[in-house]
Amino acid sequence: MGSSAIRELLKVTEQTDIISFAGGFPAAEYFPVERFREASDYVLKNYSSRALQYGTTEGFQPLREYMVNKMAKLGVKRSVENVLITSGSQQSLDLVGRIFINKGDRIITERPTFIGSMQSWRAYQAEFITLPVDEEGMNTEALDETIKLKPKFMYILPNYQNPAGVTLSMDRRQTIVKLARQYGIPIVEDDPYWELRYEGEHLPSLLSLDEEMGRVRFSGESARDLDHGKVIYLGTFSKTLAPGLRLGWIMAPAELIRDCALAKQGMDLHTSMFVQMVAYQVVKDGFLEEHIAQVREVYRERRDIMLNAMSREFPSVVKWTRPQGGLFLWVTLPEMVNSLGILRKAIESKVAFVPGSAFYPDGGGDNEFRLNYSNAKPEQIEQGIKRLGKVLASELETAALNI
Ligand SMILES: Cc1ncc(COP(=O)(O)O)c(C=O)c1O
């Protein structure tokens, strides 16, 4: 472990005069504060002895049932034994690492992938085998060969991937689930963003595809008991409601949920009952869907503003992804330029991003970087992209002169 150079550099983004496209923060001005206030009052008035008391590790039962019902709408038929409430997806990732990874174990991840997963799994001394990401998500051409290296699991971000903003195509989803089943390799499906889609059709989760394949294999009602596949699905309220709640969930086969619960007992006993009960009160009765419909519009607008500003302000050799949802897009510079060096200059110009190398488990990404568009307001996006465009133009010019 250890604090990285990038983390040190990005500490300055806490200064108020910097326009930061670095974090993965939702727009705080849209947090449903009033609804939280009412829900907190209600819980304290009616259920204080439960909310302020120790609770069960698996989580608040009505919230677990809420998750089961939500996933049922996506064609996933599970019960509460398949759900564990966690203190955010970051904890879910750590639980997965604690259960699966021994020193030197291999895991398959995308390249680039989510920083937080590397932070968790490096601590368990995993060996990362990576597959490249392109416009259709993780490239599966070499998956058949790679899976033969007997990884403990593969880690997939199907929707508007963090950091690259790309979405896994239907063909690739099917290939991944088919190979996982064939070789008996679990899939960790990390899916915080799926409800933040701004265009196009929702694609089925790996969890639901896996369930479908299981049903075909064991036809009839017994299918559900016989075959729950090996997908470990991670969800969170962080991006759709509020990350400060620290509230997420794992949906997985019951025996794995039992293992996760045991591991979680050693970490924090359980996720705050008060937070779980308040969040349940907030989300039930369709409020979450209404709220998401609102923030989806806000983020769609911010994405479009950023994309348009980039087209105007960035040198023409710079390329970027056009995400269909989520919070991030991914920028690729000509190979000779290093985005970490550009970050230093950008910070001097009061704008920040995360350099690409931070997202590569095994090196690379030096000429790439990630931009977030959910947190800055429209006028800040315009201003920040203008500043960044100037830095890029000047750095590219210097780089060309030095060749
Ligand atoms: C892909 C991915 N997984 C997990 C997390 C962690 O989320 P949480 O706030 O639920 O811990 C994030 C947050 O940025 C994320 O992007």
Q: Which of 86, 89, 113, 264 gets mutated to test ligand 1 (max ligand atoms within 8 A of its CB)?
A: 89
- What integer best gives the mean pLDDT of the chain? 94
Q: Where are the extended beta strands (E) located within 219-338? A: 231-236, 248-251, 319-320, 328-332
Cα of 192 from ligand 1 centre, angstroms: 6
Question: Residue 352 pLDDT more than 80?
Answer: yes
Helix, strand or coil for residue 349?
coil
Residue 86 token pair: 């966690």
Q: Which range among 4-8, 195-199, 226-230, 232-236 shows the weakest confidence by mean pLDDT?
A: 226-230
Burial level of 299, CB count in 10 A (0-12/13-18/19+)? Answer: buried
Q: Could you tell me the strand order of the sheet in which 127-134 lies?
A: 83-86, 248-251, 231-236, 187-190, 154-156, 106-111, 127-134, 137-138
192 lines ligand 1 (CB under 6 A): yes
Helix, strand or coil for residue 359?
helix
pLDDT tens across 88-115, in order? 999 999 999 999 999 999 999 999 999 9
Cα of 90 from ligand 1 centre, angstroms: 6
- Going by C-alpha positions, the residue among 297, 315, 388 that lies closest to residue 349 is 388
pLDDT of residue 141: 97
pLDDT tens across 159-209, in order? 999 999 999 999 999 999 999 999 999 999 999 999 999 999 999 999 999
β-sheet bridge partners, residue 190: 234
pLDDT of residue 226: 44
Q: What does DSSP say about strands 137-138 and 351-352: parallel, antiparallel, or unpaired?
A: unpaired
DSSP code at position 204: P
CB atoms within 10 A of CB 102: 9
Question: Residue 222 pLDDT more than 70?
Answer: no
Confidence of residue 223 (pLDDT cuts 50, 70, 90): very low
Contacts of 8 (CB under 8 A, 6+ apart): none
User: How far is CA 91 from each of CA 4, 160, 393, rounded to the nearest angstrom?
Assistant: 21, 21, 40
- Going by C-alpha positions, the residue among 26, 133, 119, 89 that lies closest to residue 233 is 89
Across the range 236-254, mean pLDDT stands at: 97
- Angle separating helix axes 89-100 and 254-268, nearest 10 degrees: 110
Task: For residue 107, give the amino acid letter.
Answer: I
pLDDT tens across 131-168, in order? 999 999 999 999 999 999 999 999 999 999 999 999 99
pLDDT tens across 284-302, in order? 999 999 999 999 999 999 9
CB atoms within 10 A of CB 346: 27
pLDDT of residue 224: 47
pLDDT of residue 218: 53
Task: Report the alpha-carbon distance of residue 8 to residue 24 in Å, rounded.
Answer: 17
Token pair 């991944």 is found at: 176
pLDDT of residue 225: 43
pLDDT tens across 253-267, in order? 999 999 999 999 999
Cα of 241 from ligand 1 centre, angstroms: 13
Cα of 156 from ligand 1 centre, angstroms: 13
Q: Which of 84, 85, 90 gets mutated to test ligand 1 (max ligand atoms within 8 A of its CB)?
A: 90
Task: Report the alpha-carbon distance of residue 200 to residue 310 in Å, rounded.
Answer: 22
Does the bond joining 378 to the residue before it have cis omega, within 30 degrees of 0? no
Confidence of residue 403 (pLDDT cuts 50, 70, 90): low
Burial level of 216, CB count in 10 A (0-12/13-18/19+)? Answer: exposed
Q: Which of 67, 85, 94, 114 gets mutated to test ligand 1 (max ligand atoms within 8 A of its CB)?
A: 114
pLDDT of residue 3: 56
**Percent residues over pLDDT 90 in the chain:** 88
Tell me the pTM: 0.95
User: How far is CA 310 from each of CA 96, 224, 229, 350, rounded to the nearest angstrom?
Assistant: 38, 49, 43, 17
Question: Residue 127 pLDDT more than 70?
Answer: yes
pLDDT of residue 401: 73
Cα of 236 from ligand 1 centre, angstroms: 7
326 lines ligand 1 (CB under 6 A): no
